[in-house]
A and B are shown apart, each in its own frame.
Chain A
Amino acid sequence: MEKMDKPLTKNIRPDRAFATLADYESTGGYQGLRKAVTELQPKEVQQCVKDAGLRGRGGAGFNTGLKWSLVPSDDLSQTRYLIANADEMEPGTFKDRMLLEQDPHQLIEGMIIAAYAIQANVAYIFLRGEYHLAASRLKNALKEAQSKGYLGEHVLDSSFNLEIHLHTSAGRYICGEETALINALEGKRANPRTKPPFAVVSGLWGKPTVVNNVETLCNIPHILQHGVEWYQSLGRGVDKGTKLFGASGRVKHPGLWELPMGTPIREIIEEHAGGMQDGFELRGFLPGGASTDFLLPEHLDVVMDYEAVAKAGSRMGTGAIIVLDDLTCPVQMVLNLEQFFAQESCGWCTPCREGLPWTVTLLQDIIGGHGRIEDLDTLAGLTRMLGPGNTFCALAPGAMEPLQSALKYFREDFERYIVGNNAIMETV
């Protein structure tokens, strides 16, 4: 009997082995695809996914069916592309790796349905270069799908043709940004592009292109197979479906769990992750990866819905909770995060290229005992200058989220370094 409440992970085994094509088919695999290409028009597939309320699982949360419907459909002879964004690199996030390594056919089926919905005949999996095991399992699964007629010419004897190519990248966080990813796939430096035009209109080689996150695509086969009502019934709150939520840091059982959207954060940290390790207290957490604002223990009852987490002052992001314990210095944690963002900035636009290294320098000065109290105002100023609307893409605004919330919630930790420094100077 299929585990209907955990569609994404029903084939995932605890031993990290992977679902073969036969395993995948035995739990209903490729039934969603069969239904799509034999019973539904591409527009109907789009509508179904739109009605289900699936929102992008890469962090932005845009309605997936709506994104598909923005691909111009007036000229069907025009080339279009579908890209699976498998460039998982948001610190603290380890959800797509599991889906890619342990159930590769789920992604492939999701991609074939998505490509059918937007009538793309070529698709790419943009996989981060470090995911070697995922690459070999995907390569093998693509061959299997081809040999069974799910992929290639005349998918399931229909008139729809699709090739899927696996592209392995060479590592840069910015490649996860949709238009930077497209530049990387074209063999260029992964700088983001000006928007508009949006990729759905002019993307890969100037053609309409849909970029969807791995986890997003993995939802598609189940929506097609079991329908909109079933999918909507999975959510506990406002948002629909299930999601992979993770917890890392000093919790008893770090891990990854498929849970309904709308699950309270408390349940994830205290029940699934088993609470804090002995000797550690919860000080705060980043709810959805490195580029989300800190929340505090008082926010534990916030539920994992896009709007609910936003209302609490952060973002659900990738749903990967990074836990800050009471023995880890939040200022040093923020320094680690900002060093990551400064290194991974593509350098294309000035605020990000100059502002992030400046942020790092200020934090290093503060921690090194050379900080001044005015530096905190400078840091606060940077969170505005590097904030939304001032940069080409979301990297710098994302980098500012943990910093701005740390300045708000952990100001005394910053001040302690500075006051301590002043005290030392006075005694000298």
Chain B
Amino acid sequence: MKEQTEHLGFEGLSLAEIQQINAELRHYEDKTAVSIEALKIIQKHRRWVSNQCLVAVAELLDMSPAQLEGVATFYNLIYRQPVGKTVIHYCNSVSCWMLGSDQVQERLCQHLNVEVGEMTEDGEYTILPIVCLGACDHAPVVMVGTELKLDITVNAVNEILGR
């Protein structure tokens, strides 16, 4: 099996990843259209997209690595650097900003002892900014992993992290 994947040039991708990417192909006219979904599938398995994975996905989709890198670096939710097990996205757009997102971000960083964009030492968390999460009536809001946390107060930070 290993020899075969090496021969195909997808070394580094698991069978599950390749199968999930191929399943997406059925929904589109061509392979390129799957690129964003494919990168997200890689992230589901590995949290981030390494150079090796990027090259492998490019070959799987008949794209040049440069073309796929152009896509990967364009989108906010594709990570080209390692991130923690849970990514905490704090909204810093206008309504959340007015209601204290700067303070929420400061408290998050303080609490986890990291700067924005860094991973905690134990590999659990990365804090990143995000644009408007579409819950402005409950500002400020934070997304912990895939879960939206509403009406965040500075004091609620410990609570939302569950520690």
Contact = CB atoms under 8 A, between A and B. Distances in A.
Interface of A: 88-94, 96-97, 128-133, 165, 167-173, 184-190, 205, 246-250, 254-256, 290, 320, 322, 325, 328, 333, 336-337, 340, 343-344, 346
Given A188-B71, A246-B136, A169 B97 contact: no
Interface stretch (B7-15, B73-81, B111-119): B73-81
B74 A190 contact: yes
B61 to A, nearest CB: 8
A314 to B, nearest CB: 15
Interface string B130-157: 1111111111000100111000000000
Given A170-B36, A171-B130, A248 B136 contact: yes
A281 to B, nearest CB: 14
Given A169-B36, A190-B74, A97 B94 contact: no
B30 interface: yes
Interface in B27-73: 27-30, 32-37, 39-40, 61, 70-71
Contact of A188 (B28, B32, B76, B147): B32
Nearest to B147: A132
B85 to A, nearest CB: 16
B64 to A, nearest CB: 13
Contacts of A91: 93-95, 131-132, 136
A146 to B, nearest CB: 14
A141 B10 CA distance: 35
7 contacts: A89-B134, A93-B132, A96-B134, A170-B78, A187-B30, A290-B93, A325-B98
A169 B137 contact: no
Given A328-B98, A336-B97, A187 B134 contact: no
A93 B74 CA distance: 23
A129 B40 contact: yes
A170 B136 contact: no
B101 to A, nearest CB: 9
Contacts of B40: 129, 168, 170
Contacts of A168: 37, 40
Nearest to B91: A91
Contact of A333 (B27, B29, B74, B98): B98
Given A130-B89, A130-B143, A187-B36, A205 B97 contact: no
A246 B143 CA distance: 21
B71 A93 contact: no
Contacts of B35: 187-188
Given A97-B135, A187-B34, A130 B77 contact: yes
Contact of A322 (B71, B75, B94, B134): B94
B142 to A, nearest CB: 12
A313 B163 CA distance: 49
Contacts of B34: 187
A325 B95 CA distance: 11
Nearest to A328: B98
Given A91-B131, A250-B98, A186 B136 contact: no
Contact of A344 (B36, B78, B95, B131): B131
A320 B34 CA distance: 33
A89 B77 CA distance: 14
A205 B29 CA distance: 8
A412 B76 CA distance: 36
A262 to B, nearest CB: 23
Given A189-B74, A336-B93, A336-B94, A88 B134 contact: yes
A94 B135 contact: yes
A254 B137 CA distance: 5
Given A172-B76, A290-B94, A336-B97, A187 B135 contact: no
Nearest to A343: B131
Nearest to B97: A336
